[in-house]
Chain A
Amino acid sequence: MIQATRNYLTFLRRCARLACAGDWRYYTWVGALAVLCLLGLNAYCKQFAHGLVTTGMSDEVSWGVYIANFTFLVGVAAAAVMMVIPVYIYDNEELHDLVIFGELLAVAAIIMCLLFVTVDLGRPDRFWHLIPGLGQFNFPASMLSWDVIVLNGYLLLNVHICGYLLYCRYQKRMPAKWFYVPFVFIAIVWAISIHTVTAFLYVGLGGRPFWNQAIIGPRFLASAFTAGPALIILAIQVVRRVTAIAPQGEAMPWQGNASGVKAVRQRAATLDDLDSLVRYLPEFASVAKETRQAILPDLRVLDVAAGEVLLRQGETDKNTFLVLKGRVVVEREESGRHRITRSAGPGEQFGEVSSLAGTPRMATAIAEEATQVLSVPADTLRKLMKASPLNKIIRARMAERLMITDRALMILRNIVQVAMTINVFLLVCEVFTEFYAGGLHIASSKYLYLGLQGHHALVPWIWTAIVFNLTAMVLLVLPLSRSLKWLNVTCVLCIVGIWIEKGMGLVIPGFIPSPLGEIVQYTPSLNETLVCFGIWAFGLLCYTVFLRMSVPILQGRLSKANEGKPEFGSGGAGGG
């Protein structure tokens, strides 16, 4: 128990140290975010001292850009589930590596949501009145009390899932299914619920006809599943860029050599080699003595110096390698960039996927230090994998790599494509119902889309959003957005379009005109805007640090095995 706690503290300490180390790009980005956070904190302190008079809100428009951002970010948090569903329900391989990124984004988004709600409170010192048991909790009548439960619950669920999976990966231990899979499925339902509850916050108000429509709930989900995955696409592309180990197009030192394994000392394997393997791969003990003897002629032991290439991306040979001594780093080149996908130490395998599938090598493996590996032909590996414990560990380790393929991005693109189309469709349904039937209750819609009695502060905004959303939809349908550059443009259009449509375009017109028919417009104040920037900066800072810690863990470069060794240097992940 004490040892386990000590291990966990070491893990946290190493993660924290990693978060403080980086290259100049990382420091610039983190520094800029920290400055914005402090500016936001300063603005909030002004608001705390003088009250919400420092915002642009009034008794007429009593919620503003805080609640608008909150609504948008709940959607982003909920959208993490769109990565989880394909992986856990449809067993999608491509997205498998990226689930953690989606869930970490959810954690950062929920932190921002909670901050946005808190800064919107007139009496933040009385927050404890909201704590069930301690204060007075109007559950289930108040939708806001539901929101308190679902948001905090979702935060805990995601922190648990991400934290547990990352810690297991760090320890190179198989996660216990009962300890996280049930939570994954709860989180899927929960994700839908956080956004539905937030929609009901508005939908439940009979006195606000602009909000009091059943379609708001489905629209919220559609827009969330557009903006969320779009944000994840951008984040992943940033991760891909900053984790590249050489500038785009630049050749790595080992490239250009003649093909094949050179300068390698080879010898036949002995039973002693297999015994030493058991030390690091206890599951190998289940292979019977006779079997070991029988496969011995197929096995070779390779000794390579640091920097030597063991296998090359694109080549076709059939061997799997098990590391006996030293460490091997596996890198993959895609779209002209090299990235580390995996780092294998003693007892760990590499090259097994293409070996078993008979496909060309997906990556290049290079010895990081003087290394000894055991080469196993595919047929022999299949024979070995008949022993169940070995089969289980090898299969589990197949997934332990960080690929971030183009195909994963294309799957996310498909999600954004469908969600955006549904979102636009639902918007058309709503606009038709409002304007075709007409009547008194459409005053808010008129104010939003056309302007009312000479007031049209929101008109340019909503039309910008509509143009952005429609352009994004067209781009998503066209093959053009299969190119990553156009995909980025499309994602930015989606995010900005949805932010306007669902933040300012939903919250503000609900208040205009007032229930007594008065038109008072709203513009966020400078102080209010600074608070918003501060919270966004804090959220991005959280996400950056999360990624900075989790990328090396997913790559296998930060693990319990290399505890005590000098930390690898700067670089790694950043982004957000």
Chain B
Amino acid sequence: MPDGSSHQNPAPADAGVSRRSFLRTSAVVGAGLAALAASLKPLMEMNDFPTAERFMQKYYKEMTPADMAKVLKRIENEVEKQYGIRPHVRDLKPMDGVQFVYCLNLTRCIGCRKCVHACVAENNQSRTPEIQYIRVLKMPDGSLDIYKAEHNYDPAMVPEKGFFYMPVQCQQCEHPPCVKVCPVHATWQETDGITVIDYDWCIGCRYCEAACPYWARRFNWTKPEIPKDRINPEMSYLGNRPRRQGVMEKCHFCIQRTRAGRYPACVEVCPAGARKFGNILDLKSEVSYILKNKRVYIQLKEELGTSPRFFYYFDV
């Protein structure tokens, strides 16, 4: 009760009372600090505390070549320390006069998921928990309604009669919604059409994951784990170098291969020849031929205006 209580609590007049109140205050403060320390204890379980160097690292586009060289060296050291293998990390730039396009033949795809696993191996994706960039949808013949798709099909033999298979991965949109929503410019589109992520700049808000209409983005919900003997040492900064806990990743058309003149791993591994990849600005390329000559090709969710660089087509 506010009124009159000043009379009930006499002011600390003698030393005995003030000593007692001092002891009581220190007991409360001490217990509080002990409880605070106890609640902070789980931080001790952290084994990947960011170093000052990593904490202060600059944004990709603001790094000078010298900065980048230093960072690449550091990444090589970190990978070597963690996985016991010296990687070769590069920062490959887009090539002039190149716009990558992907074409996928739905008539040919047999749903074997070899692309899924080749992708995991090539791009140093976490094995526990396993992160996959490609999701193959098993669809009943006659419909492109993805709500009818089966995601976790597991028959003894593929393909199954009455179904076709549609692998979905990052569609490398010309108007990517994920890039627009990122609050810190951690993901952007390069001149060759590939949307990339600076894994060291991403804050892990997952707004891009919510924005993506193709469910192409993956988040590192915990520290990624890759067996030492499964590391692919040929790495690039914006591509397949090992990621850390709490950042986004996704398909980047195997930037470490395609910017060095090779095909993506999924194209190479496909046993059915369903996957075609190339430069749309090169009129003699396979993809140019397909887009010119196939009567129908499909851009997934065309109505959203994202304009994917990933085209599905049929042999008709």
Binding site for B on A (CB under 8 A): 23, 34-35, 38-39, 41-42, 45-46, 48-53, 57-60, 62-63, 117, 120-127, 129-130, 135-138, 141-145, 148, 201, 204-208, 243, 245-246, 329, 340, 440, 443, 510-511, 513-518, 552, 557, 566-572
Given contacts A42-B38, A142-B182, contact A51 B2 (CB under 8 A): no
Determine if A126 and B45 form an interchain contact, defined as CB atoms under 8 angstroms apart: no
Give the docked Cα–Cα distance between A34 and B35 (Å): 10
Give every chain B residue within 8 A of A53 (Cβ-Cβ).
129, 221-222
Give every chain A residue within 8 A of B55 (Cβ-Cβ).
125
Give every chain B residue within 8 A of A121 (Cβ-Cβ).
203-205, 246
By beta carbon, the residue of chain A nearest B168 is A516
Give the docked Cα–Cα distance between A144 and B203 (Å): 12
Given contacts A45-B42, A62-B219, A122-B205, contact A207 B177 (CB under 8 A): yes
Which of B6, B38, B218 lies in contact with A569, CB distance below 8 A? B6
Determine if B221 and A516 form an interchain contact, defined as CB atoms under 8 angstroms apart: no
Which of B8, B145, B184 lies in contact with A137, CB distance below 8 A? B184
Determine if B146 and A63 form an interchain contact, defined as CB atoms under 8 angstroms apart: no
A-B contact count (CB 8 A): 212
By beta carbon, the residue of chain B nearest A339 is B2
Determine if B222 and A245 form an interchain contact, defined as CB atoms under 8 angstroms apart: no
B179-235 residues at the A interface, CB under 8 angstroms: 180-186, 201-207, 209-215, 217-223
Give every chain A residue within 8 A of B43 (Cβ-Cβ).
45, 48-49
Give the docked Cα–Cα distance between A223 and B222 (Å): 36
Known: A38-B35, A42-B40. 8 other contacts (CB 8 A): A42-B42, A49-B46, A50-B222, A120-B206, A124-B203, A201-B207, A517-B148, A569-B9
Which of A39, A63, A246 lies in contact with B210, CB distance below 8 A? A63
Give every chain B residue within 8 A of A570 (Cβ-Cβ).
1-2, 5, 9
Which of B183, B210, B301, B305 lies in contact with A205, CB distance below 8 A? B210
By beta carbon, the residue of chain A nearest B139 is A517
Determine if B2 and A340 form an interchain contact, defined as CB atoms under 8 angstroms apart: yes
Is B66 at the interface (CB under 8 A from chain A)? no
Question: Main SS of the interface on chain A?
Answer: loop
Tier of interface size on chain B: 35 or more
By beta carbon, the residue of chain A nearest B303 is A206
Determine if A246 and B1 form an interchain contact, defined as CB atoms under 8 angstroms apart: yes
Binding site for A on B (CB under 8 A): 1-6, 8-9, 11, 32, 35-36, 38-46, 50, 55, 59, 129, 135, 137, 145-149, 151, 168, 177, 180-186, 201-207, 209-215, 217-223, 245-248, 301, 304-306
Determine if B202 and A123 form an interchain contact, defined as CB atoms under 8 angstroms apart: yes
Determine if A138 and B50 form an interchain contact, defined as CB atoms under 8 angstroms apart: no
Determine if B215 and A516 form an interchain contact, defined as CB atoms under 8 angstroms apart: yes
Determine if B183 and A518 form an interchain contact, defined as CB atoms under 8 angstroms apart: no
Give every chain A residue within 8 A of B41 (Cβ-Cβ).
42, 45
Give every chain A residue within 8 A of B151 (Cβ-Cβ).
516, 518
Give the docked Cα–Cα distance between A10 and B213 (Å): 57
Determine if A206 and B147 form an interchain contact, defined as CB atoms under 8 angstroms apart: no
Which 6 pairs of residues, A with B, have the shortest CB-CB distance?
A122-B204, A207-B213, A122-B246, A569-B5, A42-B39, A53-B222
Cβ contacts A to B, 6 pairs, < 8 Å: A49-B45, A136-B184, A143-B181, A206-B304, A208-B211, A515-B212
Report the minimum CB–CB distance from B4 to chain A (whole Å): 8
Determine if A144 and B39 form an interchain contact, defined as CB atoms under 8 angstroms apart: no
Determine if A126 and B210 form an interchain contact, defined as CB atoms under 8 angstroms apart: no
Report the minimum CB–CB distance from A497 to chain B (whole Å): 25
Report the minimum CB–CB distance from B77 to chain A (whole Å): 20
By beta carbon, the residue of chain A nearest B178 is A207
Which of A59, A143, A517 lies in contact with B146, CB distance below 8 A? A517
By beta carbon, the residue of chain B nearest A570 is B5
Determine if B203 and A45 form an interchain contact, defined as CB atoms under 8 angstroms apart: no
Give the docked Cα–Cα distance between A57 and B4 (Å): 54
By beta carbon, the residue of chain A nearest B56 is A128
Give every chain B residue within 8 A of A208 (Cβ-Cβ).
210-211, 213
Given contacts A45-B41, A129-B186, contact A516 B214 (CB under 8 A): yes
Give every chain B residue within 8 A of A63 (Cβ-Cβ).
206, 210
Which of B42, B149, B301, B304 lies in contact with A49, CB distance below 8 A? B42
Given contacts A123-B203, A245-B3, contact A41 B181 (CB under 8 A): no
Give the docked Cα–Cα distance between A126 and B151 (Å): 35
Report the minimum CB–CB distance from B226 to chain A (whole Å): 16
Determine if A51 and B39 form an interchain contact, defined as CB atoms under 8 angstroms apart: no
Give the docked Cα–Cα distance between A117 and B298 (Å): 38
Report the minimum CB–CB distance from A316 to chain B (whole Å): 26
Give the docked Cα–Cα distance between A204 and B181 (Å): 9
Which of A46, A48, A205, A518 lies in contact with B211, CB distance below 8 A? A205
Give every chain B residue within 8 A of A571 (Cβ-Cβ).
1-2, 5
Give every chain B residue within 8 A of A552 (Cβ-Cβ).
2
Give the docked Cα–Cα distance between A121 and B247 (Å): 9
By beta carbon, the residue of chain B nearest A201 is B207
By beta carbon, the residue of chain B nearest A143 is B181
Report the minimum CB–CB distance from A531 to chain B (whole Å): 12
Give the docked Cα–Cα distance between A571 and B181 (Å): 49
Give every chain A residue within 8 A of B181 (Cβ-Cβ).
141-144, 204-205
